[in-house]
Amino acid sequence: MKPVFNATTTVHWHQTAAYLSLLCILAVASHSAHANIADEVIETVVVTATRGDSLGSELPLSWSSIGSDAIAFTVPQHSNQLLQRAAGTWISRNNGQESLISLRSPVFTGTGSCGAFLTAADGISLRAPGFCNVNQLFDANLAQAGAVEIIRGPATAIYGTNAMHGVIDIRSASATTSKNALRIDVGARDYYRALGSVVRPESGIAVHLQTTTYGGYQDDSGYDQQKLTLRQDLQRGNWAITSVLDGMNINQETAGYVQGNLIYEDETASKNNPNPEAYRDAWSVRGHLSASRVLSETTRFTLTPYFRNNAMRFLQHYLPWQSTEENGHKSLGLQSTLHTEHDARGWAIGADIDYTQGWLKETQDQPFSPNQPVGVHYDYEVDAVVYGGFIQGHQALNERWRIDGGLRIEQTRYDYSNFTEDGNACDPAASACRFYRPANRTDSFTNVSGNLAISYDLGPVRTYGRLARGFRAPQAAELYRLQAGQQVADLDAEQLDSVELGLRGTYAGTLSYGINGYVMRKKEVIFQDRDRQNVSGADTDHKGIEIELAWQINSVWYAQVAANVADHEYASSIQLIGSRGDILGNTIDTAPEHFGSARIGAETVIANRFTKAELEFVWIDDYFVDPNNANTYEGHSLWNLRVDISASETLTASLAITNLANTRYAERADFGFGNFRYFVGEPRSAMVSLNYQFD
AA letter at 660: L
Query: Taking the C-alpha atoms of 594, 665, 136 and 276 in order, what is their torsion angle to the nearest 10 degrees?
Result: -160
Pairing of strands 147-152, 191-200: unpaired
Give Cα 291 distance to the centre of its chain: 27
Q: What is the pLDDT of residues 254-288, one digit of tens each?
A: 998 899 999 999 999 999 999 999 999 999 999 99
Q: Which percentage of the chain shows pLDDT scores above 70?
A: 92
Tell me the three state secondary structure of residue 617.
strand
3-state percent helix, strand, coil for the chain, nearest multiple of 5: 10, 55, 35
- Concatenated DSSP letters for 171-231? EPPPTTT---EEEEEEETTTEEEEEEEEEETTTTEEEEEEEEEE--SSTT-EEEEEEEEEE
How many H helices and E strands in the chain?
A: 5, 38
d(CA 307, CA 454) in angstroms, rounded, equals 37
d(CA 647, CA 274) in angstroms, rounded, equals 45
Query: Taking the C-alpha atoms of 270, 275, 276 and 278 in order, what is their torsion angle to the nearest 10 degrees?
Result: -130
pLDDT at position 3: 37
pLDDT at position 539: 94
Cite the DSSP H helix spans in 401-492.
476-480
Tell me the three state secondary structure of residue 411.
strand
Query: Cβ neighbours of residue 611 under 8 Å, at least 6 residues apart?
Result: 602, 603, 604, 605, 643, 644, 645, 646
pLDDT at position 109: 83
d(CA 397, CA 417) in angstroms, rounded, equals 53
pLDDT at position 30: 37
Contact predicate 544/564, CB 8 Å: yes
pLDDT at position 379: 98
Residue among 550, 602, 616 at smallest CA distance from 42: 550
Contact predicate 28/21, CB 8 Å: no
Question: Which residues of the chain fall below pLDDT 50?
Answer: 1-42
d(CA 13, CA 678) in angstroms, rounded, equals 24
Residue among 175, 155, 178 at smallest CA distance from 165: 155
Query: Taking the C-alpha atoms of 267, 614, 166 and 141 in order, what is their torsion angle to the nearest 10 degrees?
Result: -80
Contact predicate 678/668, CB 8 Å: yes
Q: Which CATH class is domain 7-693?
A: mainly beta
AA letter at 222: G
pLDDT at position 498: 98
Give Cα 339 distance to the centre of its chain: 28
Contact predicate 155/64, CB 8 Å: no
Residue among 215, 198, 216 at smallest CA distance from 207: 198
Q: What are phi and psi of 74, to 5 degrees?
A: -80, -45
- Concatenated DSSP letters for 43-69? PPEE-TTTTS-EEGGG--SEEEEE-HH
